Structure 1
């Protein structure tokens, strides 16, 4: 029997087929994907959901993306900036990853931005981008945001509260870290620009043990309370809010009543409005299949973190397809990450604006009980929402970045 010579042998002999070159050898090498998650601390619940999102997609694809075998390297940041930077360096310098998905928290992404630019290893963020230079200005081409800024959904909610609910006065309470600040700022600006007044701002620490002291300070002569919480903080806040028998309607950021924690809540969550780029109630074939898959695999309902990380993985796959799996060509791969778009998926269509930030659907939701389960029913859908909402981009970019004190409070009492 005669054996056909391998491509490697042909290459050595200089007889490889026309168009075949050494990079074809790399097709057998795996794509090492770094994954920054949180397994310890108050944000660990979100980290667990992130892992479910990426693991599900890789299982569905047989650990292959665009014809390349994938090796996932998981790192626990501990949910803090120092840990995020240390683990990012380990992924790049020790594990030799070609791309990173993560981290969970905005302040972690800010902490590693300079290092990502220096290392020139692409980072795909699966949760809220910061509204500062990291998100607004296209300064770091190696950072790709698969989902929106912290203020993107809260802009919508702030305007909706003023226009649709007719609210005039709002008190705000939110976690005292970047994600909490920026989400509250987006709500604050849109609400006041549409005729409302933000009359109070409270900032409990991320690790606060008891919200009682803060809830007792909340003004009661308001139409609503904006609650901006991450991890399981929303669970504890809403339970104590009900215990204090406060009446104003609660309006939450995406994670305050996320599906990932609704199972831990009771009647205290009923009637809470929120806005997000995801709800398990999105009635599309892609999302119904996704929800069924997560429930089948993990016995939970997917939420913000699960869908965001699954979407970031879809984004990676879309970019790899544009370069036929050849991630070794880094300039082409980075260009593909910016050129990629998703025509469909659990969250709906997504594409990037000229600043490299996502344009996507935002869903206003209301917590209701259906078939004995708490769900985020969709009240209204706002298609193709950008980071700028209804604001003129140049004027928006010229404003001070959203923060704990910006926009300035004109109506505090």
Structure 2
């Protein structure tokens, strides 16, 4: 298990900023130091997602003197490699050995599900900065789990709605064969009422999509919709453009083409469309402050992984401040987290009763500008959207 333990602020290792030290002799009920567990993929095919999330979280700490809610904080980051067994191991180590006060992550749904019960059963607040399985938003919701991103199906519902409103009749859809892949396409189908010309789930280790693209060419749908994260998106979009099919059959996606993948995809992404609840060009003061600070510190543009992790830090900061640093008072801390009393980088944001956001979703487009491709936001597709599983959540008291 790859693990990062951080030294006292303001030392800043390349992969993440570490702040504070842990002190076990705090005044009862009032934390003099905080310990934050951060579980994410920090190596492997999707390592960029974990790194960008960790950068976003630590940026907020850097901007606030290494404190959350006025209390010095330490981050212990563990690499789950997007593997459930490693995520479970990381969660247990952070609970039993490191005795963290709060968990942030994991990022991938299969890993979230592996770590979810151990963390919430230990009554440790758990903030998911990327995605969330439907069962957690619904029947297995917990007072200790909060999402600062979305329930898995939501960005895909937004594109399903857009293509439905656009009047398309036949769409071919693809995703990886794992929990989030299946949920994302469920979300798309919830809103798109036309014909699904093909529904394909590819193995998690598949990076060659020639056979699937050949099938698309043969079926001749009006459009193709995909969910492929990280390196999978890079390969699929490049291969799709190189095949020539994109000239006749446009490509739509969500959580696939973004600032973690666009540079590597390059011109192949031009003319594609996406849906998301955040983009770095959103015009609000919180986002402008975040983006400027992020680029200045790290030298690259933030993605939604960075933004939602930054919001996770903002959420913790506001809640810990509200309870006067008394993180051991779990009912008070949960109540403070529920209020979400901070300015999200996405603008419109509040929690539903199941601790998932109510927020807007935007249509994005990749265009050519000044000799390079750039993703830009175009319009609101769904406004004040809540997830489809909130009604199944009977939230218990902490």
Q: Does 1:300 align with 2:303?
A: no
Equivalence map 1:233-252=2 (5 Å): 233-246=232-245, 247-252=248-253
Instruction: Judge conservation of contact 1:42–1:207 (CA < 8 Å) in 2.
Output: no
2:126 to 114, 117, 123: 123
Q: Does 1:76 align with 2:97?
A: no
TM-score after normalising by structure 1 = 0.84
Cα distance between partner residues in 2 of 1:374 and 1:277: 21
User: Bigger shift: 290-299 or 304-313?
Assistant: 290-299
Q: Does 1:212 align with 2:210?
A: yes
Cα distance between partner residues in 2 of 1:319 and 1:137: 26
1:201 to 199, 202, 205: 199
- Superposition CA RMSD, Å: 2.0
Equivalence map 1:310-329=2 (5 Å): 310-329=310-329
Cα distance between partner residues in 2 of 1:292 and 1:205: 38
Equivalence map 1:30-49=2 (5 Å): 30-49=33-52
Q: Residue in 2 aligned with 1:5?
A: none
Instruction: Judge conservation of contact 2:175–2:202 (CA < 8 Å) in 1.
Output: yes
TM-score after normalising by structure 2 = 0.87
C-alpha spacing 1:189/1:27, structure 2 compared with 1 (3 Å): closer
Instruction: Judge conservation of contact 2:362–2:379 (CA < 8 Å) in 1.
Output: yes
SS at match of 1:265: helix
Instruction: Judge conservation of contact 1:281–1:375 (CA < 8 Å) in 2.
Output: no
Instruction: Judge conservation of contact 1:364–1:378 (CA < 8 Å) in 2.
Output: yes
Q: Residue in 1 aligned with 2:5?
A: none
Instruction: Judge conservation of contact 1:35–1:103 (CA < 8 Å) in 2.
Output: yes
Cα distance between partner residues in 2 of 1:28 and 1:182: 39
Cα distance between partner residues in 2 of 1:34 and 1:373: 38
Cα distance between partner residues in 2 of 1:341 and 1:277: 19
Shift of 1:375: 2.4
Q: Residue in 1 aligned with 2:4?
A: none
Equivalence map 1:13-412=2 (5 Å): 24=27, 27=30, 29-131=32-134, 133-137=135-139, 139-163=141-165, 165-192=166-193, 196-218=194-216, 219-246=218-245, 247-254=248-255, 256-342=256-342, 344-381=343-380, 382-388=382-388, 394=391, 397=392
User: Bigger shift: 22-31 or 232-241?
Assistant: 22-31
Shift of 1:49: 0.8
Instruction: Return the index of the structure with the highest Cα Rg.
Output: 1
Shift of 1:24: 5.0
Instruction: Judge conservation of contact 2:170–2:197 (CA < 8 Å) in 1.
Output: yes
Instruction: Judge conservation of contact 1:106–1:129 (CA < 8 Å) in 2.
Output: yes
Instruction: Judge conservation of contact 1:54–1:313 (CA < 8 Å) in 2.
Output: yes
Residue deviations 1:261-299, cap 9 Å, x none? 111122210111111111112122222222222221112
Cα distance between partner residues in 2 of 1:157 and 1:216: 24
C-alpha spacing 1:245/1:220, structure 2 compared with 1 (3 Å): farther
Shift of 1:358: 1.0
Cα distance between partner residues in 2 of 1:323 and 1:374: 46
Instruction: Judge conservation of contact 2:31–2:326 (CA < 8 Å) in 1.
Output: no
Matched residues, number: 365
C-alpha spacing 1:125/1:28, structure 2 compared with 1 (3 Å): closer
Cα distance between partner residues in 2 of 1:78 and 1:305: 16
Cα distance between partner residues in 2 of 1:373 and 1:317: 38
4+ long deviations beyond 6 Å: none
Cα distance between partner residues in 2 of 1:28 and 1:330: 13
Shift of 1:335: 2.5
Cα distance between partner residues in 1 of 2:61 and 2:26: 24
- Flag structure 2 segments of 5+ consecutive residues without an equivalent: 1-24, 394-398
- Flag structure 1 segments of 5+ consecutive residues without an equivalent: 1-21, 399-413
